[in-house]
């Protein structure tokens, strides 16, 4: 099943699912429409078709979960990304966080701040938690996952290098584009999916999720051993090789640039970069 948050015809937003060639709204038992997927998941994520119907070609996608409870990201989680840095893959998942209130959606503007430079992209498979859990064994990971989406883990390499840790460089406002849809595990086998990113139409990243060092089962187990996972939490599972930081030309993102992150079986996430 495919889910999304879309712009409502009369204004605002709607949580929807795709059925019979159209996007159909989700509503609670009292008939109230969910404004986004976070509200739907917080209420238990039990699908109930609402009255609103949006034709497939008319859907304007927003960030699926506009403000996740947590964003947990994973560094050096692709063997080729470690190789391009001259590093060995980690022996255990390397985690960091992004601020949860910086999420934007498809076609939104990513704002380049005046206080940080060397802006870079990272195409990543995003995992959205559906069922809460603590100390979840890897064998039961799928019971707790609502679905998969695309994340562009935008980063200021200047801030990341200066601070020698990730939070500031990863957490500037708008630095977490996500979307366009969420695909549930019954329709999306995460292993062996192609993913990549185009910059102004030129291929920059191209890899496969089969080269992850730690897949979603291991990550769910590892992260949930630290703290409980909640519905709507977003896990950004790392990026393949090809980021700007490790290219010889050292060309970083500039105002007017457009990125298209893509994952086989999910779609494309397009964003333009402008000055804040």
Sequential pLDDT tens for the chain (276 residues): 999 999 998 889 999 999 989 999 999 988 899 999 999 999 999 877 877 889 999 999 999 999 999 999 999 999 999 899 989 999 999 999 999 999 999 999 999 999 999 999 999 999 999 999 999 999 999 999 999 999 999 999 999 999 999 999 999 999 999 999 999 999 999 999 999 999 999 999 999 999 999 999 999 999 999 999 999 999 999 999 999 999 999 899 999 999 999 999 999 999 999 999
| Cβ neighbours around 117 below 10 Å, total | 13
Is residue 79 domain-shared with residue 58, that is, in the same domain?
no
Domain count of the chain? 2
C-alpha 237/C-alpha 197 separation (Å) is: 15
CA nearest 4: which of 266, 260, 204? 266
Is residue 113 domain-shared with residue 136, that is, in the same domain?
yes
| DSSP string computed for the chain | -EEEEEE-TTSSEEEEEEETTEEEEEB-TTSPBPSSHHHHHHTT----EEEEEEEGGG--EE-SSSS-S-EEEEES-BHHHHHHTT-PPPSS-EEEEE-TT-EE-TTPEEEEPTT---EE--EEEEEEE-S-BSS--GGGGGGGEEEEEEEE--EEHHHHHHHTSSHHHH-STT-EEEEEEEE-TTT---TT-EEEEEETTEEEEEEEGGGBSS-HHHHHHHHHTTS-B-TT-EEE----S--GGGSTT-----TT-EEEEEETTTEEEEEEEEE-
- Partners of residue 49 on adjacent β-strands: 26
Last residue of a domain, one of 44, 62, 80: 62
Q: State residue 51's pLDDT score.
A: 78
Q: State residue 46's pLDDT score.
A: 83
Question: Residue 141 maps to which CATH number?
Answer: 3.90.850.10
C-alpha 165/C-alpha 69 separation (Å) is: 22
C-alpha 129/C-alpha 148 separation (Å) is: 9
Give the domain range for residue 161. 71-275
Q: In the structure encoding, which two tokens stand for residue 14, read together?
A: 């709607």
Is residue 31 domain-shared with residue 168, that is, in the same domain?
no
Q: State residue 41's pLDDT score.
A: 97
Is residue 85 domain-shared with residue 47, that is, in the same domain?
no
Is residue 243 domain-shared with residue 184, that is, in the same domain?
yes
Phi/psi-derived region of residue 102, left when phi > 0, alpha when psi is between -120 and 50, beta in every other case? alpha
245-274: b (≥16 Cβ within 10 Å) or e:
beeeeeebbeeebebbbbbeebbebbbebe
Please check whether residue 224 is in contact with residue 135, taking contact to mean a CB–CB distance below 8 angstroms.
yes
Is residue 42 domain-shared with residue 94, that is, in the same domain?
no
Is residue 49 domain-shared with residue 78, that is, in the same domain?
no
């Amino acid at each position: 099943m495919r889910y999304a948050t879309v712009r409502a015809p009369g204004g605002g937003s709607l949580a929807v699912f795709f059925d019979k060639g159209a996007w159909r709204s989700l509503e609670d038992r009292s008939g109230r429409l969910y404004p986004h997927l976070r509200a739907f998941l917080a209420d238990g994520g039990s699908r109930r078709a609402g009255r609103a119907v949006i034709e497939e070609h008319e859907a304007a996608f927003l960030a699926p979960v506009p403000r996740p409870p947590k964003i947990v990201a994973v560094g050096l989680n692709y063997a080729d990304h470690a190789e391009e840095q001259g590093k060995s893959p980690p022996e255990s998942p390397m985690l960091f966080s992004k601020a949860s209130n910086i999420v934007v959606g498809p076609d939104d503007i990513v704002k380049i701040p005046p206080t940080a430079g060397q802006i870079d992209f990272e195409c990543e498979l995003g995992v959205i938690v559906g069922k809460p859990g603590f100390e979840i064994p890897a064998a039961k990971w799928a019971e707790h996952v609502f679905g998969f989406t695309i994340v562009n883990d935008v980063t200021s390499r200047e801030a990341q290098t200066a601070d020698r840790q990730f939070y500031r460089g990863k957490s500037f406002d708008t630095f977490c584009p996500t979307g366009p849809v969420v695909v549930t595990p019954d329709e999306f086998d995460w292993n062996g999916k192609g993913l990549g990113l185009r910059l102004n139409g030129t291929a920059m990243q191209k890899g496969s999720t089969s080269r992850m060092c730690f897949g979603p089962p291991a990550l769910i187990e590892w992260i949930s051993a630290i703290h409980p996972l909640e519905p709507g939490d977003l896990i950004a599972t790392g990026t393949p090789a090809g980021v700007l930081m490790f290219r010889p030309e050292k060309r970083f993102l500039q105002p007017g640039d457009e990125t298209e992150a893509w994952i086989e079986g999910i779609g494309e996430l397009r964003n333009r970069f402008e000055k804040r």
